[in-house]
Chain A
Amino acid sequence: MTTRIQFNEELNRLHHDIMAMGARVEEDLRKALEALRTGDTGLAKEVKAGDEVVNAMQVKIEDQAAMLIATQQPVARDLRELVTVFKMTDNLERIGDHAVHLAKAARRLADDPYPRPLDRLQRMASTGCEMLHQAVTAFLARDEAMARAAAARDDEIDAEHKAFIDEVLAYLAANPGKAQQATRLIATSSFLERIGDHVTNVCEAVVFMATGVHVELNE
């Protein structure tokens, strides 16, 4: 006999909403990446508007999850799943914020272009998008291994971040008048590095949901 039909339906609805929020953040991140690549300032405005949608999604999802805790008294895996929902939305919202920062930085960099290719930032952003997609998929599939695999890619972002900072510092040494531009570039790289950390947090939450064990991934 199938019981708790309503609860299962509500959980499914939450899954759908988390998927939509993840997709929206991923889309904003890709737009910010595109803005960075092309200097298209119109995209930056779209990312800002998208972030407001993401913030509204977070409130809606967290209200739904809180309501389920209050009315359905979930325990065990169900409870861990709802606890994970809060961690997911919190980190997805922060990634959305970083996408906005990234888009703003893209606009400023368009006014004062960096004379070298921004390949490393592109790769960091691209890896971040892929990690995010994989982490949300791992949540939906309750797949611990997939979450661990997604988090492992944070090392790629960290390595690019470190290499990019070295590159910018060398650029600054050769061009002392470009301190403001160099600072913006380093800040941009830091936003991307933080995105990797937030996706790692999501992955840790998914592992916790699947196993009940708290883990530190990528220490």
Chain B
Amino acid sequence: MNAFAIGPGRAREKAGARGPSRFEAAVGSTPSGNGAAAEGPALETRNMNIRYGEHLAVRDLSIAFQRRKVTAIIGPSGCGKSTALRAFNRMNELIPGASTDGEVLFHGVNVYDRDVDPVELRRRVGMVFQKPNPFSKSIRENIAWGARINGYKGDFDELVENTLKQVALWDEVKDKLKQSAYALSGGQQQRLCIARAVALQPEILLMDEPTSALDPMSTAKIESLLDELKRRYTIIIVTHNMQQAGRVSDRTAFMLNGDLVEYDDTKTMFFNPKDERTENYISGRFG
């Protein structure tokens, strides 16, 4: 059972919205929309262009992300991969001068439609950033707070425990839930941030270089976690670490200068890519 009373959500309530949101209407009665019966891609872009002012950062991107798979987006700095990632839940809107056209389809709804609530979108399509950014609150509140403001009506102790167990952090923090999240190590903080996103019962987790600030052991824990999390969530991860993309992802997309060059099963991309530019990049011959 989903204990979220997600419906309008605060933003929609404030805006005086009535009735089901676009996503609820599209998904039906399953608030998380993450049911096994769901078919088709978890998220799809069609002819998406993203500009920063005059600069075209992502050009004509059409890509479909498979449900409950880990998809890695790789490419050299400035290729547009993080920009594309942020467009999937409209985080780019928070950047002055950024504009997006084309479509980002989630449950068949273009997330850029005017009546789509970005707050609800970001609950359903969560994001984990490069550097751990826990709230200046207790470990428990880092999990509970977001759920509370998103209308969670269930048992918060249960939510905190279950969520921390999902990210393999429970055993390490169960006796210090009231301590500040800042007391945790970097790797633990990042797992807490993943837990914070997971607590909102998203369908998709966007991860922007989630381990680049972590040591190898913490990185290994997050990578193991991804393998567990993909049973429930669709994961799209941007990474500079080629070996990480090879280890954790089912599908890999290679971007270069704003273009999607190649997109295929990870094993094909790393063993027998079709495009010479992919071959050269993953072999470390440029970038």
Q: Are B271 and A78 in contact (CB under 8 A)?
A: no
A8 to chain B, nearest CB (A): 9
Contacts of B278 in A (CB 8 A): 76
Q: Are B285 and A3 in contact (CB under 8 A)?
A: yes
Beta-carbon contacts under 8 Å, B211-237 to A: none
Q: Are B286 and A77 in contact (CB under 8 A)?
A: no
Q: A65-85, CB under 8 A of B: which get 1 and which 0?
A: 000000001111111100000
Residue of A nearest to B272 (CB): A212
Q: What's the Cα separation between A7 and B243 when bound, in Å?
A: 17
B270 within 8 A of A: yes
Q: Are B279 and A76 in contact (CB under 8 A)?
A: yes
Give the secondary structure class of B's interface: helix
| Residue from the list A73, A74, A80 in contact with B272, Cβ < 8 A | A80
With contacts A1-B286, A3-B284, A4-B283 taken as known, whether A76 is within 8 angstroms of B243 at the C-beta atoms is: no
B246 to chain A, nearest CB (A): 7
Residue of B nearest to A79 (CB): B271
- When A and B form their complex, what is the total count of cross-chain residue pairs whose Cβ atoms lie within 8 Å? 36
B238 within 8 A of A: no
A7 to chain B, nearest CB (A): 8
Residue of B nearest to A4 (CB): B284
Contacts of B243 in A (CB 8 A): 73
6 closest cross-chain pairs (CB), A and B: A212-B272, A75-B270, A75-B282, A76-B279, A4-B284, A78-B283
Interface size on B, residues (CB 8 A): 14
Q: Which residues of A contact B (CB under 8 A)?
A: 1, 3-4, 7, 73-80, 211-213
Contacts of A74 in B (CB 8 A): 283
Contacts of B284 in A (CB 8 A): 3-4, 7
Contacts of B246 in A (CB 8 A): 75
B20 to chain A, nearest CB (A): 46
Contacts of A3 in B (CB 8 A): 284-286
Q: Are B271 and A75 in contact (CB under 8 A)?
A: yes
Q: Are A4 and B242 in contact (CB under 8 A)?
A: no
B7 within 8 A of A: no
Contacts of A80 in B (CB 8 A): 271-272
B229 to chain A, nearest CB (A): 25
B2 to chain A, nearest CB (A): 41
A84 to chain B, nearest CB (A): 13
B146 within 8 A of A: no
7 A-B residue pairs with Cβ-Cβ distance under 8 Å, sorted by A, are: A3-B284, A75-B246, A75-B271, A75-B283, A76-B271, A76-B283, A213-B272
Contacts of B151 in A (CB 8 A): none
Beta-carbon contacts under 8 Å, B237-287 to A: 242-243, 246, 270-273, 278-279, 282-286
Residue of B nearest to A74 (CB): B283
Q: What's the Cα separation between A4 and B282 when bound, in Å?
A: 12
Contacts of B282 in A (CB 8 A): 75-76
B135 to chain A, nearest CB (A): 37
B64 to chain A, nearest CB (A): 24
Contacts of A73 in B (CB 8 A): 242-243
Q: What's the Cα separation between A3 and B287 when bound, in Å?
A: 9
B159 to chain A, nearest CB (A): 40
A193 to chain B, nearest CB (A): 33
B153 to chain A, nearest CB (A): 48
Contacts of A213 in B (CB 8 A): 272
Contacts of B242 in A (CB 8 A): 73, 75
Residue of B nearest to A208 (CB): B272
B82 to chain A, nearest CB (A): 22
Give 7 A-B pairs besides A76-B270, A76-B273, A76-B278 with Cβ atoms closer than 8 angstroms.
A3-B284, A3-B285, A7-B284, A73-B242, A76-B271, A76-B283, A77-B283
